[in-house]
Chain A
């Protein structure tokens, strides 16, 4: 208690002494530095100590701002990534649309060419169904009596002969494909002008009734002869792939590969002319 009392008593003197020293030092520092350009001891000390602190703060700030910047960048990259993915999807869809448009354009151009080739009026129809049975080859199209389609009308594509309409309803028609065994089309071998009849065998064609004296070779084109009045003359049917070597009989055994890919048919052209069903 006595110590504390004594301490309390000596405090104002010491404090006053300390203040005086500090003021003296400050005055000295100021007086010695005013007008000078170089750091004195005081400034160097202050510079060193504050510089170190400044350095620490700068490092910390850099570190924090680096982490924050990276985080912000990541968020940005993620958003950019998502945006780009959406963009890619949009472009893929657009690309598909353009491709479809180009394909449609090509198909319509080909149809236009076909329409110009055929004198009779024609009608384009969409294939909507196929025969599920093994023994028959027919397909269903989305145009019928109301569109002017009648039984017996020939059906073609740009590639060649497809078949003939065998049944019609007001809105739909059933087409007997030329590869069906019940179908028969008058044909001619383009190079040798040999006449014959194309019969379907379920998968391809057999060219029948071509006399052996007529020269028929593989890769010869077979086209419609136009003799029966069903198909217009000169429509492509297929290509000769095999000529039988059998010596017996009067006629060649000729296998013909169809020009039309019947599995890939999407649209067909119906020639609007009355014709009997070729059997």
Chain B
């Protein structure tokens, strides 16, 4: 259920990023909420379901973005496993680490997509625009803490519901013995 909700949320973010956010003034940039969700999944979701969602998001984004297919799916999957791997050694899910983690991985994804595009079509040289990329990094860094908190609150809500559910509620002692 939780994975399904995060899937819906990611789909909604893609729709927002390709429509509503495009109407924002240029100086405001386009907030990449999908990327923040992927970082959150990398830190908190199980490797199997998290990776599956990440790939699905990458594929879904490619439908609306870019010329070459597969770049976002691979880039997001790489970010997912890099964060997953690092989080086993470092305390990455601490809230104060989020901005730097998000900034570095966001730069990584963009660099990966940029370099891959260049390799696939050498003639199509797009100048790397530091101004635009730093603007977007700044936006995701500003949004990192509040949005991660929001994702965490959604996740905690599911945890609470899970504990309250009669299926998952733990019974203390021998229930039948106590009745007898």
Mark A residues whose CB is within 8 Å of B. 128-136, 138, 140, 166-167, 174, 176, 180-182, 199, 201-202, 263, 279
Chain B residues whose CB sits within 8 angstroms of the CB of A180 once the complex forms? 67
- Hey, what's the 0/1 contact readout for B6-45 against A, CB within 8 Å counting as 1? 0000000001011101100010001010000000000000
Q: Tell me how far the C-beta of A159 lies from the nearest C-beta in chain B, rounded to whole angstroms.
A: 19
> Can you list 18 A-B contacts with CB-CB less than 8 angstroms, sorted by A residue number?
A128-B19, A129-B19, A129-B22, A130-B19, A131-B65, A132-B17, A132-B18, A132-B21, A132-B32, A132-B65, A138-B66, A138-B67, A140-B18, A140-B64, A174-B63, A176-B67, A202-B129, A263-B26
Which single residue of chain A is at the shortest CB-CB distance from B66? A136
Chain A CB within 8 A of B114 CB: yes
Chain A residues whose CB sits within 8 angstroms of the CB of B66 once the complex forms? 131, 133, 135-136, 138
A176 to B61, CA, bound (A): 15
- Contact (Cβ within 8 A) B126 A138: no
- A174, A182, A263: the one contacting B64 at CB < 8 Å is A174
- Contact (Cβ within 8 A) A131 B18: yes
Chain A residues whose CB sits within 8 angstroms of the CB of B142 once the complex forms? none
- Contact (Cβ within 8 A) A182 B18: no
Mark B residues whose CB is within 8 Å of A. 15, 17-19, 21-22, 26, 30, 32, 61, 63-67, 110, 113-114, 117, 121, 124-127, 129, 132-133, 136
- Contact (Cβ within 8 A) B67 A182: yes
- Contact (Cβ within 8 A) A138 B124: no
- Contact (Cβ within 8 A) A130 B22: yes
**A140-B64, A181-B124, A182-B124 known; A134 vs B136 contact (CB < 8 Å):** yes
Which single residue of chain A is at the shortest CB-CB distance from B19? A129
- Contact (Cβ within 8 A) A181 B126: yes
Q: Tell me how far the C-beta of B59 lies from the nearest C-beta in chain A, rounded to whole angstroms.
A: 13
Which single residue of chain B is at the shortest CB-CB distance from A131? B65
- Contact (Cβ within 8 A) A131 B64: yes
Q: Tell me how far the C-beta of B126 lies from the nearest C-beta in chain A, rounded to whole angstroms.
A: 5
A133 to B32, CA, bound (A): 9
Chain A residues whose CB sits within 8 angstroms of the CB of B114 once the complex forms? 135
Q: Tell me how far the C-beta of B60 lies from the nearest C-beta in chain A, rounded to whole angstroms.
A: 12
Chain A residues whose CB sits within 8 angstroms of the CB of B117 once the complex forms? 135-136
- Contact (Cβ within 8 A) A134 B127: no
Chain A residues whose CB sits within 8 angstroms of the CB of B21 once the complex forms? 132
A199 to B127, CA, bound (A): 13
Which single residue of chain A is at the shortest CB-CB distance from B26? A263
Chain B residues whose CB sits within 8 angstroms of the CB of A167 once the complex forms? 63
Q: Tell me how far the C-beta of A173 lies from the nearest C-beta in chain B, rounded to whole angstroms.
A: 11
